[in-house]
Structure 1
Amino acid sequence: MSDDLATLSALIKEPGQPDTVFKAFEDITRRLVGHELFTLLYVDGQEVARIYSNRPTEYPVSGRKTMGPTPWGKHVLDGRQPYLGKDKAGIRWAFFDHELIESMGLGSVINIPAIYDGKVVGTINLLAPEHHYREEHVAPVERLAPLLVPGFLAARAANKAA
């Protein structure tokens, strides 16, 4: 874990941000806990935007969209808590697009909020086959989440300027 922190901390200094750190984070989390779908969303008030995806055909990088109130949003965005959905029921509870997720052979999820100044500025979203994720998979990703804060803030600022 300390090597992962050191790697990400060093990469933040390199050019090509935020994609340099986003790609390294994807690779590190694949090794630490596994995933088949990895996406990053920045959060700006009630709006979100997907700014990174390892499966852009199914989940493309996209512009801003308003996110209405949902139980998932109350838990992750308002409550600033990770969400662990261990099975398809957990996916269905959380996501309106659960049919697409399930069609990809995915049935478990970890969502980690990246928090800055008391507010969620982004979410880290890892999906894998049903029953892949367990409680012990959350903490390793959550410990690394603060290193994505600069990337989330930069992506949000760039999108506002566009």
Structure 2
Amino acid sequence: MTAASSPTPALAGVQAIAQAYAAADAAAAFLAIDAYAHATLAHALCTINRYDAGAMRVLRLYSSNPVAYPPGGSKDKAGTAWGRHVLQERRVFVGEGEDAIREFFDDHGAIRELGLRSVINVPVVYGGACLGTVNFLMPRPAVSDADVHAARLAGLLALPAFQALDRP
């Protein structure tokens, strides 16, 4: 890249994530990861949650729509199929269509009102432990394998921010 050329959107996204990590700013990293993933996923909502394994709860750290889903909100996932799948078994969850969203999410009405019809939830895992999730909700009723791969990459990009949250 020459001094006169501009970085591609993908490179600009990577640079924004790198700058956030260089500044030790997890919130800026989450924002940059959301923007970077949006170029591929065209999602309408991104949330990032920290997982408290002892309480089997997730706490929202980041939301691209803080009015509908404010940071600080939490959800109890004890005894839920979603909690077992994503948090305990550490597997990506893909929900396609309104029926899947209604089946797995208590807040399905709010999700429907936002016009969201599919979801990809990515567990952020290190050393066999789930630290949290990166979640993308889309208005389209189905997602592709490429969408799932892009969401998984976003989850990997979020790992340093989750690790930093546990440091004194």
With the length of structure 2 as denominator, give the TM-score of the two structures: 0.82
SS in 1 for 2:154: helix
Report what 2:4 is aligned to: none
- TM-superposed CA distance for 1:4, in Å, is 7.7
Report what 1:141 is aligned to: 151
Report what 2:129 is aligned to: 119
**What does 1:71-150 correspond to in 2, within 5 Å?**
71-150=81-160
**Runs of 4+ in structure 1 over 6 Å off:** none
Report what 1:28 is aligned to: 36
User: Which piece of structure 1 moves more, 130-139 or 20-29?
Assistant: 130-139
- TM-superposed CA distance for 1:64, in Å, is 5.3
Cα pair distance change 1:78/1:20, threshold 3 Å: same
Report what 2:26 is aligned to: 18
**Aligned mates of 1:150, 1:136 — CA distance in 2:** 23
8 Å Cα contact 2:134/2:154 also seen in 1: no
User: Match for 1:78: what amino acid?
Assistant: Q
Report what 1:47 is aligned to: 57
SS in 1 for 2:135: strand
8 Å Cα contact 1:42/1:155 also seen in 2: no
Structure 2, unpaired ranges of 5+? 1-9
User: Which piece of structure 1 moves more, 137-146 or 96-105?
Assistant: 137-146
**Aligned mates of 1:85, 1:153 — CA distance in 2:** 27
User: Match for 1:72: what amino acid?
Assistant: W
Give CA deviations for 1:44-68 in whole Å, capped at 9, x if unaligned: 2113210000111110011555432
Percent identical among aligned pairs is: 31
**Could you tell me which of 74, 77, 80 is aligned with 1:70?**
80
Give CA deviations for 1:66-109 in whole Å, capped at 9, x if unaligned: 43220111111111111111111111121011011001111110
Residue-pair matches, total: 158
SS in 2 for 1:100: helix
- TM-superposed CA distance for 1:33, in Å, is 1.1
Cα pair distance change 1:63/1:101, threshold 3 Å: closer
Report what 2:162 is aligned to: 152
With the length of structure 1 as denominator, give the TM-score of the two structures: 0.85
User: Match for 1:62: what amino acid?
Assistant: G
Structure 1, unpaired ranges of 5+? none
If you compute each CA radius of gyration, which structure gives the higher value, 1 or 2? 2
**Aligned mates of 1:12, 1:80 — CA distance in 2:** 26
**Aligned mates of 1:95, 1:48 — CA distance in 2:** 13
**Aligned mates of 2:78, 2:12 — CA distance in 1:** 35
